[in-house]
Amino acid sequence: MTINIDNYLGLHSTALNLRSQRAKLLANNLANADTPNYKARDIDFRSSLQKARQNHGAQPGKTHAAHIPLTANAGAHALQYRVPTQPSLDGNTVDTQVEQGKFTDNAIRYQASLQFLNKRITGLIRTLRSE
């Protein structure tokens, strides 16, 4: 019997990666809360995760910094613009409260994925131990 670690860890490692990318996006929104004409952006997590799963494993290398990446991550998130509830006069669409809520939500879900992953790993280690 062979164990494929990638399959064993399942969805969670991909989810963790996506969660950290989304955290970065939301942090960027929050940092630009006072920037005129800045448009808040986010990803659709469900479709991004599906795409990342499909593209899993197919990652051509880059030989130049300016190459357009074809990695799973590049196709994974189609950035979308947030629809503002209260558009402001300076063209900024960041609603700090909304972004903060989403950031916290994302952080908790990151921790959840982390915990799932942790349990899998400790489970594997326990199996490997010959006691």
Partner 1 sequence: MSLFKIFDIAGSGMSAQNLRLNTTASNMANADSVATKPEDAYKSRQAVFSAMLQNSFDQNSGGVGVQTLGIVESQAEHNMRFEPGHPLANEEGYIFDSNVNTIEEMANMISASRSYQTNVEVLNTSKKLLLQTLKLGE
* 41 interacts with partner 1 by CB under 8 A: yes
Residues 26 and 33: their CA atoms lie apart, in Å, by 11
Question: Would you give the distance in Å from CA 8 to the centre of its chain?
Answer: 20
CB of 57 to partner 1, least distance (A): 19
Read off the DSSP letter of residue 119.
H
Among 21, 53, 84, 112, binds partner 1 (CB under 8 A): 21
Nearest to 6 by CA among 114, 120, 126, 115: 120
Residues that bind partner 1 (CB under 8 A): 16, 20-21, 23-28, 30-36, 38, 41, 66-69, 73-74, 77, 79, 96, 100, 103-104, 107, 110-111, 114, 117-118, 121-122, 125
